[in-house]
Structure 1
Amino acid sequence: MIERKHKSKALVPLTSMADIAFILLIFFILTSTIGIDKSIPVNLPVSETSTGGSYKFFHIWIDGKGDIYLRGERKSEDELMEFSRYRSIDNPDVKGLIGAEKNISFMKVNRVMEILRDSGVYNIVLLTKKKNG
């Protein structure tokens, strides 16, 4: 009788592949950036009712000096126009949330609202604090 040679099957080292996958996962978690909307401290006016929503939006903050902030950085009116135009093209239903210092002139808030409307953002929300009591 003829003896057959037994070939051993090649084994794939699964533990080292799992280690590599885990290291890659940690690498991507640590090196990725998360787009957190940065805000500035603004004393919002109080309102009787306040509602929340789950729509796509971006915050615009106006401080006590009338400076405009977007994502935590001070912006000019032209930069706000460019950003909001881009966002309205990307998502026509985007909401512009305006948070203004409660003692700021409404003319400044109205100017920001005009910029948003001119750039195609028609859903505008003025942020307020809910009145307690």
Structure 2
Amino acid sequence: MLVHRKRRARTGVEAPLTSLIDIVFLLIIYFLLTTNFMAEDGIRVQLPQATSQPAAEEEELTVVVDSDGTVFLGSRSVALHELLDALKNRLETAPETGIVVKADRTLVLDRVVQVMDVIRAAGASRLRLATERPRP
């Protein structure tokens, strides 16, 4: 005896796309709101373009700021107003003199910015901040 069963028409399984689209849009809105699109305030620097020619020998002054915030011009300790006067005198005779600032890594950034402001006020157009390459 064969029993025939009636086969029911299977209904297809459908994913609820409406709720999936809602979730995707909520994620997009979340990431848009949590992303920081504002430019950070800082010192604006125009980087020079690299050339393959060797750098020309040029005269440089070195300004060192140690971990205590003491400023040295060469090997002599100077106050900020003395630094301004000394740099003005030097830059009057050689305006293309490059100035390299070597600041201790533990120093508060505000002090370095003060020194760089004094150097700019003296009329220096070639100012660099010295850094070290990370060791592998």
TM-score of the superposition, structure 2-length normalised?
0.57
In the alignment, structure 1 residue 108 sits paired with structure 2 residue 114 = no
Counterpart among 46, 69, 72 of residue 69 in structure 1:
72
Q: Where do 5+ consecutive residues of structure 1 fail to align? A: 1-51
Q: Show CA shifts across 1:36-77 (max 9, x none).
A: xxxxxxxxxxxxxxxx76221100000111010112121011
Q: Where do 5+ consecutive residues of structure 2 fail to align? A: 1-54
Aligned counterpart, 1:30: none
Distance 1:80 1:110 in 2: 14
Distance 2:75 2:129 in 1: 18
Aligned counterpart, 2:91: 88
Aligned counterpart, 2:129: 126
- By relative contact order (CA 8 Å, sep 6+), the higher-ranking structure is 1
Distance 1:95 1:107 in 2: 22
Distance 2:117 2:70 in 1: 16
Distance 2:88 2:102 in 1: 19
Equivalent pairs counted in the alignment come to: 83
TM-score of the superposition, structure 1-length normalised?
0.58
Distance 1:121 1:64 in 2: 24
Aligned counterpart, 2:61: 58
Percent of aligned pairs with the same residue?
Answer: 18
**Cα 1:53–1:113 shift into 2, 3 Å:** farther
